[in-house]
Structures are given as C-alpha cells and as structure tokens.
Structure 1
Amino acid sequence: MMTRLRETNLVILNFDLHNLGEDLVLGILRKMLMSHSLITLWIQGRIGFNFPCYQRGMCPNLVKLTLQFSEIEGDVMQELGNFPMLKFLALEYWAFIGTEMICNATAFPQLKHLTLGHLPNLEKWEVEQGAMPNLSYLQIWDCYKLEMIPDTLRFITTLQELTTLGMPRQFNDRLLVVNGETGQDYHKVCHIPSIELLHQR
C-alpha cells in the first residue's frame, strides 16, 4: 500500500546545484515543484540558471519559499508569480542577479509577505496593477541600486507594513515628508499604517 505525504517541508542548504549542469538541475527542480505535498521550500545555494518555466500544476500547495545565494539569471518573478498558494516569499543574498524584476497583473494572488534582501544588482522593480492584491508586509533591505518602489503599491490597500533596512538615503527620502516637503514616492506609501526606514546608508 502506497502512503502519500500530506505535507513536505524541504530544505536544501549549501549545495551548488549549478555544478550538476543546467538540464539535470532544471529537471530535478521541475519534478520537485510538481509535488502536491510540498508546502515550504528553502533553497540556499547556487542554481545559476533561469528558474524552471511554470507548468500547469506546478507548486499547487507551496505556501512558503525562500531562495538564498541562488544567482538566478532570468526574471524569477515571472515564474514564481504563478504559484497559486504562495503566501511568503523571500529572495535574499544574491538569489536574483538581474537588474530588473516585473510582476505581471495576475502575479502572486495569495502573497502576504515579501522580502527582497541583498540583491545588489537590482535597479528596477515593476508591479503591474492587480498583482499581489493581498500583500500585507513588504521588507526591502540592502538593495543598494534599487531606484524606487513601484508606483502601483499605492493600489495595494491590504499593505499594512513597509520596512527598509540599509537602503540609500535618497531611496528613503523619496518616501518621507521632510520639512513639509513630500518625497517623490510619498503618495505610493501614505496609505500604509506602519513604515520603518532603518539604518540608511
């Protein structure tokens, strides 16, 4: 009699997947991501390729995903945004090495918590209106080249908390009211009840 796992929580730490070769790595990841029991996934290690292209039925029940040191080259948001049940996403420590990320209008329908941390190449982040309609917490830290937050954050009425850490002063100043002068991006965040801008560079 075959027993099916009800929940799988998978952690892959300090493993250089890149050395296995692109075809093998992407094949392994695709099979893993098709599992209905996969609830949480934490990969710490170099993937070095584009994240597997989304296929119907992929990650049907994945709730929490953390990628660290993955060095993904393609726009990872285009793929991860299709995961229907994803509520917690952290891209940290060179998880993404590109310069631009785009969330399309149907991306991340259930996402509540998003962390973008130490993505030093990231310059531009676009979020189309309609994406991340349930986002409640956003943290951005050590993304030194990121120019500004997306304009469409002003339409995400569920957003309750924004935290930045180690961001350039000019990035934070755009979000503030200084000497009665509103920053260029203040209108994007003025609806958020809790905003913390910590340890400016």
Structure 2
Amino acid sequence: MMSVILARSYKDLPNHHLRSCLLYFAAFPEDYEIYVPDLIEFWIAESFIPHTPNHTLEETARSYVTELAQRSLVQVVGRSTAYGWIERIRIHDILHDWCIQEARQDGFLDTSNKTADQAGASSSSSDNLISYRFSFETLSDQILPATPNVRSLLGFELESVSLPKLRFLRVLCIEDSALNDFSTVIGGCIHLRLLRLRNCHGVTLPSSIGKLLYLQTIDLKHTQLESVPNSLWDIPTLRHVYLHSGFSPPPPARSVRLQSKELQSFVLDLYPVGADFRCHDMMIFLGQMNQLTTFSLSMYLNIPAEVVNIFDNMPHLVDISLLKFDVLDRLPAEFPQSVRRLVLYADVIKQDPMPILEKLPCLVVLELSGYKRQTMCCSSQGFPRLQELALGSFSTELWRMEEGAMPKLSHLTLWRWEKMSKLPVGLLHLPSLGHLKLSDMDQISEDDNTLNELRRKGCEVHTYVRSLSLINLPPLHFRCYLYLCMCVCPHDN
C-alpha cells in the first residue's frame, strides 16, 4: 500500500527533471543527512536542472528542493539563517528503499551494499536495462564493479578499493575511503564534471587534471594532498573548489592567465602550511577571482593581514570566512555590500569593527573573535538585518548599544569576555532577542540585572562553561569550539 502511494506521488511530480532529482536519493546511504548545496552540485553535474529564463541553475535547483519538501518527500533538517533557504535534508527510510527499487527497475541507478549484497556487486532488478549510475557502500579490497560506459560513481566507506578506467564518467564521489592508483585513472576521465573525494586516503592529483575541461566542482575536504597541480586553474568551467591541503598559489605568470572565470566558491583549509608558502603570490592569485560569491580561508599558521585588502575586487561576495589572523590593525574600509555572512577570527583586532560592519545592508550572520579594546559601540540603525551574532575572546569592558541598533537580532552568543563583569544594559533595547548564550563567562552573576530582565521578557538564556583552553588551537578546532557553544540552544541555521 505504501509503495502505491509513493508511486503516485512520484508520478504526480510536474516534470521528469524533478523525478530524476527524487530518484537520485537512492545513491546516498540510509539515514544520510544531505547538505543541500552539495546535492545541488550533483544535480547540476548530472544535467537534471534545466535552464530557466532569468534564473541560475542553482536557483532552479533550490526551487526543486522546496517543491519536494512541500510535498513531504524530503524531511527538512535545517534552514540557513543567512539565506533563508533549506540547508539540510534527509529522506525517510521507507522512501529511500522505494527510490532504490524504482531506480533499479528504471535503469536509473544501481546500488550495492556489502551488508545487503554479500557478493559485493550490484544486482539490478531488471535484466533489460543497463544502469549508467552506481553507488557502493562498505566494499573492500577490490576494483569497483561497473560497466565501462558508467556516467556516475558514488562510494561510501570503501576500504582499499581501486577504480576502473571510466572514460565517460561525469560524476565521481567517494567519501571516507581509501583509494588505490587513483592518479593513473582520473586523468582519462575527460568528461568529468564533479570530483568529490572527502576524507579519503591515497589520493594524488596528476598534472593531467588540467585536461578535464568540463570539470565544474572539485571537493577534497578533509583529504590530504601533497600538492595541487597548477594545471587545475587552467580549467575554464570550474565553479566550486574545496581544498584541504597541498595548495600552493601558482606563480604570478599563471595567475594573471587564470582561466576559471566561472569560479563561484573557493574554500581553502590549509593545515598545515609549509614554510615556503608564498603570500605575495597568494594575493595576486586571489585578486583574479572577481566572480566569487563564497570565499573561505583557514590556515594553521596565521593568515597574512594583507588578505583583507582583496575584497575591493570581489564585489559579488555573499559569504566570507577567515580563520585566523594574528594581529589586525584595521578592517577594510568597505566590505562588499552583498555580504550576508561574515566570519572573522584573529588573535588581536585593534580597531572597533562595529562602525564598519554595522553599515553592511545585507549582513545576517556575524561571528567575530579577538577584539582587544576596552570599549565598543553599535550605533542607532546599525546592523539593520543582522539576526545572529557571535562574539568571542573580547577584552571589552563597555559595550554601548544605541536604541535602534540590531532591530532583528534574535540569537546572541558571547564567549570568553573575561573583562566584562556585567551584561550591557543595551541588550534590553534589542526587540527581537530571543536567545542568549554565554560560554566561559562565569564572571557574569546569576543575579545580573540585565540577565534577569532578559529572562523576564522571555529571552532564553543558556550558560555554558568549558575548561578547554583556546590558546594556540588550530583554526579547525577553534571553529568547532564556537560551533559547540552556538549549539547549546539548538535552532535552524
């Protein structure tokens, strides 16, 4: 009976593009929480998303996610505060099983799970249809079985596996796995559009990566590389780049010829960084990326202070994350006016950041760490759209908030303000404040007048005390600490 209802819901979808998007959930493990931006990159690489007048492919794809959620075909796990859209989803186990069965019968996608298929090979329900997409789980010590003409290959928790030579491959996604002889295979995948290798071992990128002229997304988060070939930046179709290690900026001669004019997302988590890292070349390289909408840079060694000067050439930035600087004497006079989310950590910020940041008209989420002056001021009409604010490791004793500042602020996190003995009275002037989190601020008494008045007004107050020292923590651990602090009172973000 349930399968009949699901089949009717599937057939009732308005077009075949949306039906393909739904069946694609069969490629993911059961109970897998799906990050929607990742899913959209899959759908676009698979050509499921049609070109729509006056809309980008990403916008159309997000409307598809919304459509599936409104039809209760996906479960919404979280929404983005900064953007307002659905950010994380999962599907019910019953629907997942139905998608696997339907995808196999239609020859859309074949799955193999060692626990379910003891033979370790995919078992199609149809003898007449040949699938061009395969998804594998928990296989080990073998070459992944697939037809020579396979277009998409996804693998999860694979132990010591080898990839076959797949000339027509468009999508390759391997997570939490160990790969053998990867570099000898990938160079021949000239049709590849998406390469995602997360938390994988045994990965080496060959210099021939530059020949993948259709590559849109390369995602190597939490995958250690010895080096990233400079030829990667010759690919004209690159839209999203996520690198965890091995990156070194190309020489200026190549930077000025940067071909990736479509690049929208550039995320670098450099841990560690060698002594020969060329900061000047990095600045020239980043200066060419004037189409970026997302830029994130994390470095085990401190980010060069000069990086804050690159934003003049990035007018389209919406999301900025910088972890972390040593000493910032000043912030840039102007950030891009389109910024909706800004994360900036430093050991020391000398200039009051509020007079600059409060003028950003679109800023919704702000996280700052390291301001070391005694006073800070938020003026009236400042931060007109800010909803989430997290401030940590401040030496501020006096925080003045004029009436009318931050009219939409709903979530405030303060952590490690060691010199603040009383909460600022200005918090009482924030009309939308509903959640206050205090972490490692045990100097604030439970009898604090502002604290009690906020509670009386209905604001949820949570205190969080940790003994963890943040001195010299790597940026990733530093970021995780703040994330834990912000999760004391769960909310969609």
Q: Deviations over 1:53-78 (max 9, x none)?
A: 24xxx421101111112522010111
Partner of 1:71: 348
1:60–1:199 distance in 2 versus 1, CA, 3 Å = same
Partner of 1:32: 311
AA matched with 2:390: T
Partner of 2:294: 9
Q: Contact (CA 8 Å) 1:139, 1:162: kept in 2 or not?
A: yes
Hey, what's the Cα distance between the residues in 2 that align with 1:90 and 1:68? 8
Q: 1:42 aligns with which of 321, 326, 336?
A: 321
Q: Contact (CA 8 Å) 2:387, 2:410: kept in 1 or not?
A: yes
Asked if 1:197 corresponds to 2:463, the answer is yes
- What residue ranges of structure 1 are gaps of 5+ in the alignment? 19-24, 176-182
Hey, what's the Cα distance between the residues in 2 that align with 1:60 and 1:97? 26
Asked if 1:114 corresponds to 2:401, the answer is no
Q: Deviations over 1:139-187 (max 9, x none)?
A: 1111111132222221222111111111124x13244xxxxxxx46522
1:160–1:188 distance in 2 versus 1, CA, 3 Å = closer
AA matched with 1:145: K
Q: 2:365 aligns with which of 88, 107, 117?
A: 88
Q: Compute the displacement of 1:11 (Å).
A: 1.2
Q: Contact (CA 8 Å) 1:168, 1:200: kept in 2 or not?
A: no
Q: Compute the displacement of 1:34 (Å).
A: 6.0
Hey, what's the Cα distance between the residues in 1 that align with 2:399 and 2:412? 13
Asked if 1:173 corresponds to 2:446, the answer is yes
Q: Compute the displacement of 1:200 (Å).
A: 8.2
Q: Contact (CA 8 Å) 2:297, 2:321: kept in 1 or not?
A: yes
Partner of 1:22: none
Partner SS for 2:354: helix
Bigger CA radius of gyration: 2
Hey, what's the Cα distance between the residues in 1 that align with 2:456 and 2:338? 34
AA matched with 1:194: E
User: TM-score, structure 1 length as denominator?
Assistant: 0.77
Q: Deviations over 1:85-140 (max 9, x none)?
A: 11111112x2x122221111121111000011122x22121111111000000011
AA matched with 1:190: R
Q: 2:431 aligns with which of 140, 152, 157?
A: 157
Q: Contact (CA 8 Å) 2:380, 2:404: kept in 1 or not?
A: yes
Q: Contact (CA 8 Å) 2:427, 2:450: kept in 1 or not?
A: no
Q: Which has the higher contact order (CA 8 A, sep 6+)?
A: 1
Partner SS for 2:441: coil
Q: Contact (CA 8 Å) 1:151, 1:188: kept in 2 or not?
A: no
Matches within 5 A, 1:134-153: 134-153=408-427
Hey, what's the Cα distance between the residues in 1 that align with 2:296 and 2:413? 22
1:63–1:53 distance in 2 versus 1, CA, 3 Å = same
Hey, what's the Cα distance between the residues in 1 that align with 2:313 and 2:460? 37
The RMSD of aligned alpha carbons is 2.5
- What residue ranges of structure 2 are gaps of 5+ in the alignment? 1-260, 265-290, 468-493
Hey, what's the Cα distance between the residues in 2 that align with 1:34 and 1:153? 36
Q: 1:61 aligns with which of 338, 346, 349?
A: 338
More helix by share: 2
Hey, what's the Cα distance between the residues in 2 that align with 1:39 and 1:138? 21
